[in-house]
Amino acid sequence: MRGFGMHSVGDIGWIEKERPACGPWDAIVRPTIVAPCSSDTHVSHGGSGPKSELILGHEAVGIVDEVGAAVQEIKPGDLVAVPCVTPDWLAPGVQNNRTFSHDRGMFGSFKFVGIKDGTMAEFCHVNMADANLALIPDGVSPEAALMTVDMVSTGFHGVELAEIGYGETVVVIGIGPVGLMAIAGAALHGAGRIIAVGTRPHAAEVAKAYGATEIISYKEGPIDAQVIELTGGGADKTVMAGGNAETFAQAIRMTRPNGVISNINFFDVMDTFTIPALDWGLGMADKDIRGSFCPGGAVRIQRLLDLIKYGRLDAEKIISHRFHGFDKLPEAFELMDKKASDLIKPIVYMD
Amino acid sequence: MRGFGMHSVGDIGWIEKERPACGPWDAIVRPTIVAPCSSDTHVSHGGSGPKSELILGHEAVGIVDEVGAAVQEIKPGDLVAVPCVTPDWLAPGVQNNRTFSHDRGMFGSFKFVGIKDGTMAEFCHVNMADANLALIPDGVSPEAALMTVDMVSTGFHGVELAEIGYGETVVVIGIGPVGLMAIAGAALHGAGRIIAVGTRPHAAEVAKAYGATEIISYKEGPIDAQVIELTGGGADKTVMAGGNAETFAQAIRMTRPNGVISNINFFDVMDTFTIPALDWGLGMADKDIRGSFCPGGAVRIQRLLDLIKYGRLDAEKIISHRFHGFDKLPEAFELMDKKASDLIKPIVYMD
Amino acid sequence: MRGFGMHSVGDIGWIEKERPACGPWDAIVRPTIVAPCSSDTHVSHGGSGPKSELILGHEAVGIVDEVGAAVQEIKPGDLVAVPCVTPDWLAPGVQNNRTFSHDRGMFGSFKFVGIKDGTMAEFCHVNMADANLALIPDGVSPEAALMTVDMVSTGFHGVELAEIGYGETVVVIGIGPVGLMAIAGAALHGAGRIIAVGTRPHAAEVAKAYGATEIISYKEGPIDAQVIELTGGGADKTVMAGGNAETFAQAIRMTRPNGVISNINFFDVMDTFTIPALDWGLGMADKDIRGSFCPGGAVRIQRLLDLIKYGRLDAEKIISHRFHGFDKLPEAFELMDKKASDLIKPIVYMD
Amino acid sequence: MRGFGMHSVGDIGWIEKERPACGPWDAIVRPTIVAPCSSDTHVSHGGSGPKSELILGHEAVGIVDEVGAAVQEIKPGDLVAVPCVTPDWLAPGVQNNRTFSHDRGMFGSFKFVGIKDGTMAEFCHVNMADANLALIPDGVSPEAALMTVDMVSTGFHGVELAEIGYGETVVVIGIGPVGLMAIAGAALHGAGRIIAVGTRPHAAEVAKAYGATEIISYKEGPIDAQVIELTGGGADKTVMAGGNAETFAQAIRMTRPNGVISNINFFDVMDTFTIPALDWGLGMADKDIRGSFCPGGAVRIQRLLDLIKYGRLDAEKIISHRFHGFDKLPEAFELMDKKASDLIKPIVYMD
């Protein structure tokens, strides 16, 4: 079968591979729409995971093509959302944690790109299909469903991590697709004021549509000083869905005692957070610092699909570019890598 | 000064009293809009609290008329929302709990009607003004602010108690003003499907406007059977903002294991909950049963006012009747007591 | 193979069956020590589960005899503790809850006796062995390990459910083996005063050894009145590991607002809880009522084994009777059923 | 009256001042035993707080000498423990957080040394006496009570912050008095294995007596490498009660995903935490970083006093030096400042 991926670090292109084999609890899915993600471009530049002849992609909706003998719920022909995090449910890490994302060691549940080929291919392999594939319900478009598998789930998780409550003032750093979903998620979790940090005009429009009450930019000065002035002392919670290692100290500074800084941003292997003790109350500020990975499993995605079904969330607003045909994958991927100014999230229809 | 209240159980009318004295940390507020609540009618029928010559009312917005010598933040002339729960912040119960509603013994923080005269008067007394009065910010109407002090706070608390998360299926029993706010609060806390239980047509319309996805009624059969059929096994969470003691067993039955039944409904002194062990999994169903009182203090109300300020909530939709003039209090009170079919919540402008 | 169980409701005895087959993820264990539990006697009287030719028992330690082809960690010859709750980790309920005990529907994770033969046999079947069998570490006796699989886990879970914190005053109702473990667990979770409710002299001695500061009995009057007098108003938390449906109202009455009543007691199918609304603050007392099942999985049991290994807990003190030889199972079972006055927990060495 | 404190940064000695005035809600306490703390020496070197003619000390037990007119529970002559954190209970920060330590801005509830004279004097002032003074119950020695007001409360808070559960493997960095209390608190909260990090032989003995299962030292190599080897991958939780800014990255590295690093150590104004992103899973490791201040208020201390009363904790084992007479304060203070090798905690009897 044909897939799109990396031959080696920095060398991307078409890859020809055997169709993956289906274990007894597994499924083989034929992706119908996929979405490149900045994690994919990150991997292609050598970020993490296997480094050669790797098919990229970890966001997909598709049709189930084959299931193993022990699969009970999922059937060939089912239209499914493929969660980007598909835990090995027999691993001890599943019993240890609530997000199920570290099944065996850190990020162990991140299988696509992490330890095996991804979704940008004619077929992809999904482990433990009954627990890791979500049926797309009536009333939910495949495009919206595609957004739930990583963008919505990760963005909303930043809100859950921050334990945002009714009427709280929240800062969301970053207005890429995950940041936008964090904004939508904050509004959907009872936040009052939502200050978004970003510069791109189109994304800023979408941020407002999702519930941001104001947009600030580092171009107008240090964001921590801006937030402290706007709020008269600091936000209740800060979600980091962008920024760099330096942003960390700013986030801590601009969050009040007993607040939370919740990170859902992927930093670089070479980054170093440098946090002055003073900003963190000499170690005793009661400002929790949390960073977490997208939760795993089908139930999570089914719940997010229900949010769309019942009209709580229009996830398609983050789709900025639509490509038609498998052959457009390189173009979409390059767009993601170069980050055009009007880019939020591209998707590719495989047919 | 003049007030409206109860001479004795069942005997309501105008009461003439001295204007309350202002302690050093306290304030005297002149109510400008008040709202009768079913708790007031409950008290007037002998429910709880002092039983004679008691001014009723525990929901008000108003103008600060006087403050004690030790008050630092609140000033005469301030336009304030008066929380219905005003804790004694020096009591041990405050250090014991998160809602601050049981300062000394059960409901100790419920001062109005509970241990002293209420708000339906020319003036009312507020203990510990700096901690218990919320300034009404620009952009929030006094009418909407009035709804926050009990209706929004209690209804939303039912959602907090139930720990409603993204995409969960929620049942809200009751579509009176508190139930409607529980519906709005559930939608604002990420619920997916929201099944409301109620019969009044006008309130049902408002329930849908606040986010209910369907309305069921006991008139079409037992509500637990209806919910179990609709959901294919049970809801994730159930909020009780109405119903009677029998509804309890239904609520337990129709909520899934690891769900929560959260009660914000005031039962009668004579009620008895009768719960078959089988419905509660022989005692081991992992179905939490919680019942809680409206949270206390100014910070809570300030946060809810922010929800209105930033356009997350239109609290005025629950106001069904508006009376103009202090003299209309008896009429509004009787309306509340008789519960006309189109009634949701009446308010009375005092001037 | 030979097993001990029920031919039909009320008719117990030896049962001859085929040795169970081992699925690819499963294991067959040869029990070396088992312990009858009152749940087994409950089942034998018709309580729940399959009703005919059922091997009883759900507590065992043993030697792994066979593993399926897909098992990676567990090997034949391993000395293991068999958790009484062994979830199907691919079920949606696992993703929904933290105790993993309701994998598909209520108590779905309770396989032994619940849906298949139990542990009182030459061999027993364990589903998903890697996730559901705990290796017994050096320094932990098999007898102590046997106590972890249900008694310690359930008793300690009552403490976790009640969220017992440093210095809190706790009531534990019942001084059977689970109640005793709740007492030990409360002391090990920071409780201050621990008031145990029970009457048997031997068990009362053990209760004190595990940390009870006083023992009260219903024979000296209503226990709620006793607790309220002793504590000057009510306990912080109450764990129910005994009592009957009436005890429930007492437990609620004697627990303070913002306290928790946590139940780990199995009630009868015919029981009905009758709770006066007044005792529960008319529905708003902030007294949480929780009832939960023993948590599932190997990681839980490994942690409890570590508590024994590191000398935090002497679980063997609850073993009151030791029988040697498979043939003694009927005698041990009858002892459990009749509940001799000096009985706490009997065990049976199978060899 | 006479007090011991700092004339200016680095210049300590006797200070003569007026006896403090007693506000209507306040009390004046005559300390009978005090304990210098490293925070006091920190302040005397210019760490934080007022910088001139400041009486030091924030740990005391004593006799109530005077109470204000509005004080209801506390009476002259009462023997009390004085919490080191005494919130202004009317401040908004109290309604925002659970530890009540940031009443108005960061550390606002830390009054002694923070914003006013401390406890090392003939008399000290306590704000809001009813809510901030804890009666010492029968059966608790004043010396043990003295340890609760900061050492026990802070050390145990490190355990609460880390949410240590049954059987977890915990690292406690630092075996000074707070670290030792974190060890005792971990054992009292259900920890299994407790690895303490420290070098002083006497303190190491006490650490074992409180429940440490092993002691490691940076002298034998990097502590993160040692912990990872001992635990086969990392601890469940790490409590930092010592170490420096570099220790932070080690603590993160040696804690497993979904673990917690909880800090109760006071860092220096000039410290900078430098955390490689890789150690924190590129921002997504699910390793919570928390740092918190000693909780405030009387109820907290009453609970800790109960732990001593009911024999759960022997807090006196951390008292290494006892001085008799007010005049010995300089000697005790110097001992604390110089940190003799056998020092854990000195106390000074004021009479």
Q: Which residues of B touch D128 (CB under 8 A)?
A: 90
Both tokens of residue A101? 């994302």
Give the minimum alpha-carbon distance from D87 to chain B in angstroms, rounded to a whole number: 10
| Beta bridge partners of residue C34, listed in sequence order | C60, C348
Centroid of chain to Cα B180: 11
- Closest CA–CA distance from residue D74 to any residue of chain B (Å): 12
Q: Please give the torsion angle defined by the CA atoms of residues C83, C89, C93 and C96, in that order, rounded to the nearest 10 degrees.
A: 100
- Is A155-291 a domain of CATH 3.40.50.720? yes
Report whether B218 contacts B192 (CB < 8 A): no
Q: What is the pLDDT of residue C44?
A: 82
Which superfamily does CATH assign the domain made up of B2-151+294-349 to? Medium-chain alcohol dehydrogenases, catalytic domain (3.90.180.10)
Token couple for D262: 């909880």
Residue B232 contacts by C-beta under 8 Å, 6 or more apart in sequence? none
| Chains contacting chain B through 3 or more C-beta pairs under 8 A | A, C, D
**Weakly modelled stretches of chain B, pLDDT under 70:** 47-49
From the list D24, D89, D300, the residue facing B89 with the nearest CB is D89
Residues of C in contact with D304 (CB under 8 A): 166-167
Contacting residues of B for A305, CB less than 8 Å apart: 167
What is the Cα Rg of chain B in Å? 20
Chain A contact partners (≥3 CB pairs within 8 A)? B, C, D
CATH number of A2-152+294-349: 3.90.180.10
Are A257 and A294 in contact, with CB atoms under 8 Å apart? no
Interchain proximity D89–B94, CB inside 8 Å = yes
Give the total residue count for chain A.
Answer: 351
Whether A154 and A179 have beta carbons less than 8 Å apart is answered as no
Task: Using an 8 Å CB-CB cutoff, list chain D residues near C188.
Answer: 166, 188-190
- Taking contacts as CB-CB distances below 8 angstroms, the residues of chain A near C131 are 89-92, 94-95
Given this model, what pLDDT does residue D31 score?
Answer: 98
Q: What is the mean pLDDT of residues C286-314?
A: 97
- Cα dihedral B311→B315→B317→B318 (10° resolution): 170
C-alpha dist (Å) from residue C344 to C36, C188, C319, C333 = 11, 21, 6, 13
Mapped to the 3 state alphabet, what secondary structure does chain D carry? CEEEEEEECCEEEEEECCCCCCCCCCEEEEEEEECCCHHHHHHHCCCCCCCCCEECCCCEEEEEEEECCCCCCCCCCCEEEECCCCCCCCCHHHHHCCCCCCCCCCCCCCCECCCECCCCECCEEECCHHHHCEECCCCCCHHHHHHHHHHHHHHHHHHHHCCCCCCCCEEEECCCHHHHHHHHHHHCCCCCCEEEECCCHHHHHHHHHHCCCEEECHHHCCHHHHHHHHHCCCEEEEEECCCCHHHHHHHHHCEEEEEEEEECCCCCCCCEEEEEHHHHHHHCCCCEEEECCCCCCHHHHHHHHHHHHCCCCCHHHHEEEEEECHHHHHHHHHHHHHCCCCCCEEEEECC
A257–D106 C-beta distance less than 8 A: yes
What pLDDT score does D6 carry? 94
CA D25, D29, D32 angle in degrees (round to 5)? 160
> How much is the pLDDT for D275?
87
Do the chains contact at D167 and C213, CB–CB below 8 Å?
no
Task: List, for residues D253-285, the tens digit of each pLDDT value.
Answer: 999 999 999 999 999 888 899 888 988 999 999
End-to-end alpha carbon distance in chain C: 15
Q: How does strand A2-8 pair with strand A54-55?
A: antiparallel
Beta bridge partners of A272: D276
Q: What SS3 class is residue C272?
A: strand
Contacts of A278 in chain D (CB under 8 A): 269
CB crowding D280-317: b at 16 or more within 10 Å, else e: bbbbbbbbbbbbbbbbbbbbbbbbbbbbbbbebbebeb
Alpha-carbon distance B48 to nearest alpha carbon in chain C (angstroms):
11
Q: Rounded to whole angstroms, how far apart are CA atoms B217 and D103?
A: 47
Interface-testing mutation among D43, D101, D106, with chain A (most A C-beta atoms within 10 A): D106
State the ipTM, two decimals: 0.96
Chain C positions contacting chain D at CB under 8 Å are 156, 160, 165-169, 185, 187-194, 211, 213, 302-307, 309-310, 312
Sign of CA dihedral B116, B122, B128, B132: positive
B240: part of which helix (H) or strand (E)? strand B235-240
Report CB contact under 8 Å: A156, B166. yes
Could you give the CA distance from residue D57 to residue D348 in angstroms, rounded to a whole number?
Answer: 11
- For residue B274, the cross-strand partners are C274
- Intervals of chain A under pLDDT 70: 47-49
pLDDT value, residue C279: 87
Nearest residue in A to B304, CA atom: A167
| Closest-CA residue of chain A to C25 | A90
Question: Of all residues in chain B, what percent carry a pLDDT higher than 70?
Answer: 99
CA distance C205 to C208: 5
- Order across the sheet with B11-16: list the strands: B11-16, B2-8, B54-55
Question: In angstroms, how far is the first alpha carbon of chain D from the final one?
Answer: 15
- Look at residue C311 and tell me whether its pLDDT is greater than 90: yes
Buried b (16+ CB within 10 A) or exposed e, A246-284: ebbbbbbbbbbbbbbbbbbbbbeeebbbebbbbbbbbbb
Are the beta carbons of C312 and D191 separated by less than 8 Å? yes
Q: Would you call B92 and D298 a contact, using CB atoms and an 8 Å cutoff? A: yes
What mean pLDDT do residues D278-307 have? 95
Residues on chain C touching B289 (C-beta within 8 angstroms): 288-290
Alpha carbon of residue D318 to chain centroid: 12
Q: Where in chain A is the domain with CATH 3.40.50.720?
A: 155-291
Tokens of A131: 């627990």
Q: With an 8 Å Cβ cutoff, are A92 and C299 in contact? A: yes
% residues pLDDT > 90 (chain D):
86
Contact B161, B241 (CB under 8 A): no
C11's CB contacts (< 8 A; 6+ apart) are: none
**Cα gap A309→A313, rounded to integer Å:** 8
Which amino acid is located at A34 in the chain? V
Q: In the structure encoding, which two tokens stand for residue D123, read together?
A: 């008399």
C95:A25 CB<8 A = no
> Who wins on pLDDT, C37 or A344?
A344
Q: Do B167 and A305 touch (CB under 8 A)?
A: yes
Q: How far apart are CA A173 and CA A158, in angstroms?
A: 11
A70: closest chain C residue by CA: C24
Q: Collapsing DSSP states into helix, strand and coil, what is residue A254?
A: coil
Single out the residue of C240, C156, C226 nearest to residue C190, CA to CA: C156
Is residue C320 helix, strand or coil?
strand
Give the torsion sign (CA, A292, A298, A299, A301).
positive
Identity of the residue in D167, D305, D310 whose CB atom sits nearest the CB atom of C303: D167
Residue B300 distance to chain D (closest CA, Å): 8
β-sheet bridge partners, residue A41: none
| pLDDT tens by residue, D156-194 | 999 999 999 999 999 999 999 999 999 999 999 999 999
pLDDT tens by residue, C187-212: 999 999 999 999 999 999 999 999 99
SS (H, E, C) A49-101: CCCCCEECCCCEEEEEEEECCCCCCCCCCCEEEECCCCCCCCCHHHHHCCCCC
Chain D residues inside the 8 Å CB shell of C189: 166, 188-190
Q: Do B95 and D297 touch (CB under 8 A)?
A: yes
Please answer yes or no on whether A284 and D266 come within 8 Å at the CB atom: yes
- Compute the nearest-CA separation of D200 from chain B (Å): 38
Q: Is the pLDDT of residue D68 over 90?
A: yes
d(CA B290, CA C39): 28
B6, containing H or E segment:
strand B2-8
User: How far is Cα of residue A230 from the mean position of the Cα atoms in its chain?
Assistant: 29
Q: Which two tokens stand for residue C327?
A: 């043939």
Q: A interface mutation test: which of D153, D228, D273, D287 has the most A CBs within 10 A?
A: D273
Other beta carbons within 10 angstroms of residue C311's beta carbon come to 12
Angle at which helices D177-187 and D201-210 cross, to 10°:
20
Q: What is the DSSP string of C1-65?
A: -EEEEEEETTEEEEEE-PPPP--TT-EEEEEEEE---HHHHHHHTT-SS--SSEE----EEEEEE
Contact (Cβ atoms closer than 8 angstroms) between residue A194 and residue A212:
yes
Asked if A281's CB is within 8 angstroms of D106's CB, the reply is: yes
Please list every residue in chain A whose beta carbon sits closer than 8 Å to the beta carbon of residue B310: 192-194, 213
Residue C39 has pLDDT above 90, yes or no: no
Cβ contact, residue pair A131, C297, below 8 Å? no
The rounded distance, in Å, linking the Cα atoms of C210 and A111 is: 46
How far B223 CA lies from chain D's nearest CA (Å)? 38
Name the least confident of A92-106, D26-40, D287-301: A92-106
**Full-prediction pTM beyond 0.90?**
yes
Contact D192 C160 (CB under 8 A): no
**Can you say how many angstroms the Cα of residue A107 is from the centroid of all Cα atoms in its chain?**
13
CB-CB contact of C175 with C207 (8 Å):
yes
